[in-house]
Chains A and B, each alone.
Chain A
Amino acid sequence: MSGPAMRNNIRRLRFENGEMTQEELAHRAGCTRQTIIALEQGKYLPSLELAFRICSAFGAHVEEVFEFEQ
């Protein structure tokens, strides 16, 4: 049985927001560029706080950035 999985659209949203760099997003969200890389590669699940900060950086709703798969 596989558990719940989270997907995100961070990479796509970066390019849709003026080709925002990982560094810039990291600065806006208050994390390191390595964390943005890990998120885009699906190797790290962010805390709720970081998830909301990333959404805020894009000016997007949580569901637009993160998707929950059963």
Chain B
Amino acid sequence: MAPLQRSALVSLAIGLVLTAVLVLLFVTWGGIESFSQNTSTRLVLSALFVVAVVAVGVFGTPMKARRGPDSEVDERDLAILRRAPQVQLAAVMLTLAGWTIGLTEYYWEQGVIPIHWPYLMMWSALIAITLAQSLGVLIGYWRSGV
């Protein structure tokens, strides 16, 4: 297993665990009702979202691709890494399409969408784009068959 591949696998695992923890906290702290009405819940969850996304982004796959004398990444790894944004684009488009279609259909009669939903759309899109980078790298290695 290539170093970048191992790094992507670890990043994806950490990202999935952090996502599960955040969703669990969101649910146990009262779900959408609490998020909508309680400012402190909203701020704490938002801060945790930022920390999780930054942690995966900073310590995750892209930083392993730094070139240098000690780099374990070569041109093939970088080529795979450069193609990963295709998966990120698809992940974000699917996430936003899912949210938009779901919310629009659900609130069609009211004609308006409650203000807290765009917040959650943004966080879920950020999570999707972060996880999809590692996923894109893993797909790249899987397709290259080595």
* A residues at B contact (CB < 8 Å): 30-32, 34-35, 37-38, 41, 43-44, 46-47, 49-50
Contacts and interface: CB of A to CB of B under 8 A. Distances in A.
A31 B76 CA distance: 8
B74 A38 contact: no
Q: How large is the interface on B (under 10, 10 to 19, 20 to 34, 35 or more residues)?
A: 10 to 19
Contacts of A41: 145-146
A44 B74 contact: no
A41 B75 CA distance: 17
Contact of A43 (B3, B72, B73, B145): B145
Nearest to B145: A43
Nearest to A30: B74
Interface in B69-89: 72-77
A23 to B, nearest CB: 13
Nearest to A33: B2
A31 B75 contact: yes
Nearest to B141: A34
List the 9 closest pairs (A to B, CB-CB), nearest first.
A31-B74, A34-B2, A35-B76, A38-B146, A37-B146, A32-B74, A34-B146, A32-B2, A35-B74
Contacts of A43: 144-146
B68 to A, nearest CB: 12
Nearest to A35: B76
Contacts of B1: 34
